[in-house]
């Protein structure tokens, strides 16, 4: 993420707000069609949307920097004109008085220009931050949809989740596995297969938990519980994503 160095803040007059002509960033719900989009189409959309968001951000920054440059150039010109006028006036009314008055006006104009420049800098940071958040949420939403499609088409994903969770179990002799109502029948049918996933399983019970969503899985052992569901893993991915963005 870029670093922006700011001048000291001095408020002069009424702040001027610079309007951007860039279109607003569309939310993921406006871009994704759960009923019609395939996983491949979603991935292509994600890549296209991310590229569009980057291009839009660069246009906004270019526009904002151009506005700031014009403000400073105009302020400098007006300052020089006031200085010249004050110098001429000083010969007629007293050089010191005219120069001091002109210098004060010039400084006020430059300070106001710097204030507007700071507003543009702050706006750039907010735009970049908002764009990052929208892109992150969109990517995570697409990932959840793709995983959901995979769970529907390939129920063996549940077995893979259970196998991964079993590697974290210190005590496996007596286990209770709770799954969603949608996954219960498949888990029961594959009980023997689950027992073969790890050594030392002597007693295994599989329960239906209506509070769990499809793809969720909680394993109870004599030493505690392990939540190995898709939602937990997606939350971990989101935390890692946010950490990378904060420390970029």
Q: Read off the pLDDT band of 63 (50, 70, 90).
A: low
Say whether 145 sits in a helix, a strand or coil: helix
Q: How many Cβ atoms sit within 10 Å of the Cβ of residue 69?
A: 12
Which H or E run includes 212? none
**Assigned domain for 11 exists:** no
In a domain, 114, yes or no: yes
Q: What share of the chain has pLDDT > 70, as a percent?
A: 33
Same domain, yes or no: 103 and 177: no
Q: Do residues 50 and 133 share a domain? A: yes
Residues 19-51 pLDDT 10s: 445 455 454 444 444 444 555 665 566 666 666
Q: Say if residue 199's pLDDT is above 70.
A: yes
Least confident of 56-60, 88-92, 123-127, 208-212: 88-92
Q: Does residue 144 surpass a pLDDT of 80?
A: no
Query: What pTM was computed for the model?
Result: 0.42
Burial class (CB in 10 A: 0-12, 13-18, 19+), 248: exposed
Helix 156-166, helix 95-153: angle, nearest 10: 110
* Boundaries of domain holding 225: 156-236
Q: What is the C-alpha separation between 159 and 142, in angstroms, rounded?
A: 23
The CATH number of the domain holding residue 209 is 3.30.2320.30
Among 113, 135, 153, which residue terminates a domain? 153
Which residues have CB under 8 Å from 206's CB, separation 6+?
Answer: 176, 177, 178, 179, 184, 187, 188, 191, 194
Q: Based on the domain organization, do 147 and 161 belong to the same domain?
A: no
How far does Cα 111 stand from its chain's mean position?
A: 34
Domain termination residue (choose one: 118, 153, 188): 153
Among 153, 185, 211, where does a domain finish?
153
Identify whether residues 32 and 80 lie together within a single domain. yes
Across residues 177-184, what is the average pLDDT?
Answer: 91
The Cα–Cα gap between 37 and 207 comes to 34
Q: Is the residue at 3 inside a domain? A: no
Q: Is 167 a domain residue?
A: yes
For residue 15, tell me if it sits in a domain: no
Q: Are residues 136 and 170 in the same domain?
A: no
The model's confidence at residue 143, banded by pLDDT at 50, 70 and 90, is: low
E strands, the chain, in order? 174-179, 203-208, 217-221, 224-227
In a domain, 18, yes or no: no
DSSP conformation class of 248 = -
Q: Answer yes or no: do 149 and 168 share one domain.
A: no
Percent of the chain, pLDDT > 90?
A: 9
Let me know whether 133 and 188 are in one domain.
no
Span 202-246, pLDDT tens digits: 899 999 999 988 888 899 988 888 887 777 767 776 777 666 666
Q: Indicate whether 89 and 136 sit together in one domain.
A: yes
Q: Give me the number of domains the chain comprises.
A: 2
Q: What is the rounded average pLDDT for all residues in the chain?
A: 67
């Amino acid at each position: 993420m870029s670093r922006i160095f700011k001048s000291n803040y001095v408020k002069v007059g009424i702040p001027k707000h610079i309007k951007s002509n860039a279109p607003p960033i569309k939310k993921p719900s406006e871009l994704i069609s759960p009923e019609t989009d395939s996983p491949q189409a979603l991935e292509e959309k994600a890549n296209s949307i991310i590229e569009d968001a980057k291009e839009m951000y660069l246009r906004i920054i270019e526009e904002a920097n151009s506005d700031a440059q014009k403000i400073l150039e105009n302020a400098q010109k007006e300052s020089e004109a006031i200085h010249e006028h004050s110098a001429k006036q000083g010969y007629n009314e007293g050089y010191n008085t005219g120069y001091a008055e002109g210098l004060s006006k010039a400084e006020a104009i430059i300070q106001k220009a710097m204030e507007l420049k700071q507003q543009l800098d702050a706006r750039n940071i907010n735009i970049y931050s908002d764009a990052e958040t929208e892109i992150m949420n969109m990517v995570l939403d697409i990932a959840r949809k793709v995983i959901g499609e995979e769970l529907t088409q390939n129920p063996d994903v549940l077995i893979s989740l259970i196998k991964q969770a079993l590697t974290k179990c210190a005590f496996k002799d007596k286990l209770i596995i709770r799954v969603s109502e949608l996954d219960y029948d498949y888990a029961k049918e594959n009980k023997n297969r689950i027992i073969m996933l790890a050594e030392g399983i002597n007693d295994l019970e599989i329960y239906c938990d209506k509070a769990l969503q499809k793809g969720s899985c909680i394993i109870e052992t004599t030493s505690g519980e392990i939540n190995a569901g898709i939602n937990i893993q997606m939350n971990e991915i989101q935390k890692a994503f946010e950490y990378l963005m904060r420390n970029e």
